[in-house]
């Protein structure tokens, strides 16, 4: 399975002339802590983040659905202003949507980090991911409000 994923990734890199294919290694590092969380906890965190003011969620609910904006949490009258950044992201996802399972990904339209965690949480999730124990439970998402 891993070899198939690597081959697909490399084919995509070559077909689209990706200039920095090593960035995939960084994506692996960025996603690795999440492998140490229990899936029900991730779903709960996702549900809470979708409600956070000034956020929008892209994804698809069924395998054959196109990637689109699934939900948003904007003040009334600000949709057109804040959803603008999603257009290019949706275009990017649509290039590969046939290969993606149903998913939900929540974004902020603002430039800058606003979904923060801390060293202890990240260390615990990485330890769980490395041991493949998936035993870190988080009762509330870490945010910087």
6/13 Cα distance (integer angstroms): 10
Span 15-28, pLDDT tens digits = 888 776 667 678 88
125/142 Cα distance (integer angstroms): 13
Adjacency order of strands within the sheet including 68-73: 68-73, 55-60, 103-107
Residue 141: the pLDDT is: 44
Domain ranges of the chain: 33-49+114-145, 55-109
Q: How many CA atoms lie within 13 A of 104 on its CB side?
A: 18
More confident residue, 132 or 47: 47
| Percent of the chain topping pLDDT 70 | 83
Contacts of residue 93, Cβ cutoff 8 Å, sequence gap at least 6: 58, 67, 100
């Amino acid at each position: 399975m891993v070899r198939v994923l690597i081959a697909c990734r490399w084919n995509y890199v070559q077909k689209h002339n990706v200039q920095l294919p090593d960035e995939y290694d960084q994506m692996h590092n960025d996603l690795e802590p999440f492998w140490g969380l229990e899936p029900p906890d991730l779903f709960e965190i996702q549900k809470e983040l979708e409600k956070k003011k000034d956020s929008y969620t892209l994804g698809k609910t069924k395998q054959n659905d196109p990637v689109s904006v699934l939900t948003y949490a904007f003040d009334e009258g600000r949709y057109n202003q804040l959803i603008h950044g999603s257009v290019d992201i949706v275009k990017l996802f649509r290039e590969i949507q046939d290969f993606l399972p149903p998913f939900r990904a929540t974004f902020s339209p603002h430039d800058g980090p606003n979904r923060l965690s801390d060293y202890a949480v990240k260390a615990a999730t990485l330890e769980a991911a490395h041991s493949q124990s998936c035993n870190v439970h988080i009762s509330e998402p870490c945010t910087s409000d």
